[in-house]
């Protein structure tokens, strides 16, 4: 094989190829990641049969751990959207915070909804309500748009079972329960930073818009919504089960090692916990919609999960090849003393996100790069996942599909979106990373 320094240079070339292929050539990230993984294996001098075995093995082992989790989480998101449960949770937050604080309510609602629902989909679902509230409360529509968009953005990049964070946790061997717990903590500050930017800067801008439905007519259209507690159960139960699984495995074994330990580690396994969440979500479906939910909604969720599964598996393949690279030993002997710490994964994620647009691709690619470097740099796996997620928020601009979702659905001109949405994502990503750095002092 090549020397360590050459392997690092080849890694830089590989990252440039990933960015060029996805951003400039507009190729599917799955094709780009798999191709670059194969080319990198060949370039570092791996025997050709080993290249094939490593790429396919990395793809399979990654999906073996999180494939069911991603599919089940996506199905839960579709069911929450179709049954009106997402709207029910938003209403509950609005009642709690008050219509006078409508931007804060939408930020909080977005943060909750985006745990199982992709931020793009969540924004589309909640936009009619957001617009209606802007008119009813006489709030600036750009402020409402930025508040909702950044709220959705916060948990999308930091809290499993969103595919990016859960794939990074798998790749880096981070405890999933701890990632969820600390990710929620960091996401609160990320959301608040976005909300602050919306109130401080976006409130100065106005948009003339035509309202399709008033707040009251919008709520009436959905008829009777599921109860708030019932709506949140498909999210709450899996998260609690995964957290209990993590607690049960603590060194002191707080639940012992007998029947209770076995039960909690079984139902708290991410795949089992998320499948339980799917069945709870199905109880939200009213009787006359059950056939549609069974035949169409679940299929829609599985279909939506397909591309994410492909990209995640490809990222795992790339990571497996990197782990076999001579750069690992080289870094371990020559670079471990460098004071980069968590800044390294954060900056890598920022560069990849800004260059090619997709936060999920940024998280998965950065996790693959960082996996063999955790030990040499002495990094905590959980904090590394959160540092990567923070970087994958910075910044959203024209090459990010979410940039266009936010701007177009809010009726925001592109020039205004560059002034408001792009810096807002930068502020919330940096704020999240600052919180991660503070946590690193205590963890």
- The pLDDT value recorded for residue 332 is 67
- Evaluate whether 103 touches 149 at the Cβ level (below 8 Å): no
Return the number of other C-beta atoms located less than 10 Å from residue 8's C-beta.
Answer: 17
Give the C-alpha separation, 167 to 70, whole Å.
9
- The pLDDT value recorded for residue 221 is 67
What's the token pair of residue 172? 């880096």
Give the C-alpha separation, 112 to 83, whole Å.
16
Give the C-alpha separation, 363 to 358, whole Å.
9
CB within 8 Å of 375: residues ≥ 6 apart:
332
Give the C-alpha separation, 17 to 400, whole Å.
18
- The pLDDT value recorded for residue 142 is 95
Quickly list H helices, 269-358.
270-282, 290-292, 298-323, 327-334, 343-356
Return the number of other C-beta atoms located less than 10 Å from residue 340's C-beta.
Answer: 15
CB within 8 Å of 240: residues ≥ 6 apart:
none
Cα of 68 vs its chain's centroid, Å: 16
Give the C-alpha separation, 39 to 428, whole Å.
36
Give the C-alpha separation, 45 to 43, whole Å.
5
Q: Residue 408: phi, psi to the nearest 5?
A: -75, -45
Return the number of other C-beta atoms located less than 10 Å from residue 331's C-beta.
Answer: 20
What is the greatest pairwise CA distance in the chain? Answer: 67
CB within 8 Å of 149: residues ≥ 6 apart:
110, 119, 123, 194, 402, 406, 410, 421, 424
pTM attached to this predicted model: 0.85
Cα-based angle 325, 329, 331 (whole degrees, multiple of 5): 100
Length of the chain, please? 443
Query: Which residue in 72, 69, 159 sits closest to 393, CA to CA?
Result: 159
- Radius of gyration for the alpha carbons in the chain, expressed in angstroms and rounded: 22
HSE-CB for 210 with a 13 A CA cutoff: 1
- Evaluate whether 255 touches 261 at the Cβ level (below 8 Å): yes
Give the C-alpha separation, 346 to 367, whole Å.
10
pLDDT along the chain (443 residues), means of 10: 88 90 86 94 94 94 86 89 85 85 92 85 84 85 95 94 89 93 97 97 85 65 82 91 89 84 92 94 91 91 87 88 82 67 92 85 91 88 97 88 88 90 96 97 90
- The pLDDT value recorded for residue 338 is 65
Q: Is the dihedral of CA 305, 310, 312, 313 positive or negative?
A: positive
- The pLDDT value recorded for residue 254 is 86
What's the token pair of residue 390? 């923070």
CB within 8 Å of 17: residues ≥ 6 apart:
32, 36, 39
- The pLDDT value recorded for residue 98 is 83
Give the C-alpha separation, 163 to 151, whole Å.
17
Q: Is the dihedral of CA 305, 311, 315, 320 positive or negative?
A: positive
Give the C-alpha separation, 359 to 395, whole Å.
9
């Amino acid at each position: 094989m090549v020397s360590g320094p050459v392997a690092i240079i080849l890694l830089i070339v590989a990252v440039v190829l990933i960015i060029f292929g996805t951003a400039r050539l507009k190729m599917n990230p799955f094709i780009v990641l798999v191709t670059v993984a194969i080319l990198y294996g060949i370039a570092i001098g791996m025997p050709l049969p080993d290249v094939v075995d490593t790429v396919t093995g990395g793809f399979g082992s990654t999906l073996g751990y999180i494939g069911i989790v991603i599919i089940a989480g996506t199905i839960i998101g579709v069911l929450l959207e179709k049954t009106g449960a997402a709207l029910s949770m938003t209403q509950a937050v609005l009642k709690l915070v008050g219509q006078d604080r409508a931007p804060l309510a939408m930020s909080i609602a977005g943060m909750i909804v985006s745990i199982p629902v992709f931020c793009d989909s969540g924004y589309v679902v909640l936009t009619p309500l957001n617009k209606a509230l802007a008119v009813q409360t006489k709030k600036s529509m750009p402020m409402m748009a930025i508040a909702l968009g950044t709220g959705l953005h916060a948990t999308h990049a930091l809290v499993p079972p969103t595919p990016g964070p859960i794939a990074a946790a798998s790749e880096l061997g981070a405890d999933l329960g701890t990632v969820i717990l600390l990710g929620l903590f960091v996401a609160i500050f990320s959301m608040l930073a976005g909300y602050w930017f919306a109130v401080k800067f976006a409130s100065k801008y106005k948009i003339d818009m035509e309202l399709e439905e008033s707040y009251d007519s919008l709520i009436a259209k959905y008829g009777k919504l599921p109860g708030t507690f019932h709506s949140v159960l498909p999210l709450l139960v899996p998260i609690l089960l995964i957290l209990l699984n993590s607690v049960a495995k603590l060194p002191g074994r707080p639940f012992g090692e007998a029947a209770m330990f076995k039960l909690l580690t079984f139902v708290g396994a991410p795949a089992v916990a998320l499948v339980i969440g799917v069945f709870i979500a199905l109880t939200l479906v009213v009787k006359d919609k059950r056939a549609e939910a069974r035949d169409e909604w679940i299929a829609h969720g599985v279909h939506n999960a397909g591309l994410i599964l492909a990209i995640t598996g490809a990222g795992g393949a790339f990571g497996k090849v990197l782990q076999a690279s001579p750069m690992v030993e080289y870094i371990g002997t020559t670079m471990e003393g460098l004071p980069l710490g968590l800044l390294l994964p954060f900056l890598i994620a920022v560069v990849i996100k800004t260059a090619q647009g997709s936060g999920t691709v940024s998280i998965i690619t950065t996790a693959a790069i960082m996996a063999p470097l955790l030990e040499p740099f002495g990094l905590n796996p959980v904090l590394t996942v959160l540092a990567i997620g923070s970087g994958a928020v910075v910044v959203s601009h024209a090459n990010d599909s979410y940039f266009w979702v936010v701007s177009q659905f809010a009726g925001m001109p592109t020039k205004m979106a560059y002034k408001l949405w792009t810096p807002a994502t930068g502020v919330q990503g940096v704020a999240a990373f600052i919180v991660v750095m503070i946590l690193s002092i205590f963890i």
